[in-house]
Amino acid sequence: MRSIDAYLECDYEELAKYPFKWATTENLPELLDHGRNYFNQLGTIGAGNHFCELQTFEDILDEEEFEKMCLDRDKAYMLIHSGSRGYGRHVLDKFITEYQQNGVRGFEAGSPEYLNYLEMHNDACNFARRNRAIIAYRFMRELLGHACIEEDAEGDNVGEEEETKFDINEELKLLSECECIIDIWHNYLEETTANFPNPEDINSMKEPNFDLPLESKTVIIHRKGATPSNKGYVVIPGSRGSYSYLVKPLEENSWIGGYSLAHGAGRKMSRTKALASVKNQYENYHNLLTTSLDSRVICENKDLLYEEAPEAYKKIEDIVFDLAYFKLVKIVAVLKPVLTYKFKKDERKHEK
């Protein structure tokens, strides 16, 4: 399998404007000069805890909900964790530089500054969605290409490393044959009308009470590392060596979590601590390329392997079972990793 971290050899202006019908129908802004500098990051996963993973269903816990989603227990599914790459960071830095140094700590909702930020924020969300779509395409292309590798008479692989020209109109047709089931963010703002109890009723509670009277309010929800619970089904992933859970948020109790859920297992040790601790535990890093679930990991960055090892994360079962116990979600199915892609060096030589 070749790297999907390298920049694509293509016309990024065309890629940014390609009329997707999978994941997003919106074009990236054609006149956004400050965003154009980041178009070449489209289709790249990024570092840290970002990944692309092939999964299969290990168990179905709610047959009725599973059937509603029209899923097939005998097929493999792709889970992608990546976002707006450097473009999102650019939006943050731009506003911090322009406003925070003048003592501005925030914008009033509806103000010109707020609307300007929200427009760029939404562009970054659209960038992230398109980025995931292209990652999905690249991952599928490599999987299909790998599966079709033939051997010559001497047993050598034919065509495995052969470079193929990236023709946008031809290549991305592959995405039209696929369906995006869930596409959400977990670092973003959402303007919405939602039901919340009166603050006085909350403050007077002596124990959890799910039956407080609710009032409709227009709010701005700022999610940082939190999955929305008002957008339908979501997947809550564990570490690369554990299961992921497909859940259905329970709308009647969504207000308790601020219309949000945990977006993953969460770390139990910092990257620095994990690098030292896990490295001491696994002197041979190759042992981390196969997990306890017998899944495979593609990662040619040794430090990243240690930093993102399953031991560095909490148990996903503890997180998901707590959400179910407090009636915030209904667990639909359990997904098992088959192949996790983190990072692979690019065999090609080209200017970035």
- Which residues have a catalytic role annotated? 263
Secondary structure class of 312 (helix, strand, coil) = helix
Cα-only R_g, the chain = 22
Strands 77-81 and 234-236 turn out to be unpaired
Q: Which two tokens stand for residue 162?
A: 């052969």
In angstroms, rounded to a whole number, what is the distance separating the alpha carbons of residues 119 and 322?
A: 36
Residues in Cβ contact with 272 at an 8 Å cutoff, skipping those fewer than 6 apart: none
In angstroms, rounded to a whole number, what is the distance separating the alpha carbons of residues 338 and 152?
A: 28
How many C-beta neighbours within 10 Å does residue 67 have? 10
Side-chain half-sphere CA neighbours of 91 within 13 A: 22
| DSSP alpha helix (H) spans, the chain | 12-17, 33-36, 63-68, 85-99, 112-147, 168-171, 199-203, 271-281, 302-307, 316-325
In angstroms, rounded to a whole number, what is the distance separating the alpha carbons of residues 106 and 308?
A: 34
Among 281, 274, 272, 247, which residue's Cα sits nearest to residue 261? Answer: 247
In angstroms, rounded to a whole number, what is the distance separating the alpha carbons of residues 46 and 308?
A: 14
Side-chain half-sphere CA neighbours of 26 within 13 A: 12
Among 352, 348, 347, 338, which residue's Cα sits nearest to residue 79? Answer: 338
In angstroms, rounded to a whole number, what is the distance separating the alpha carbons of residues 238 and 232?
A: 20
How many C-beta neighbours within 10 Å does residue 275 have? 20
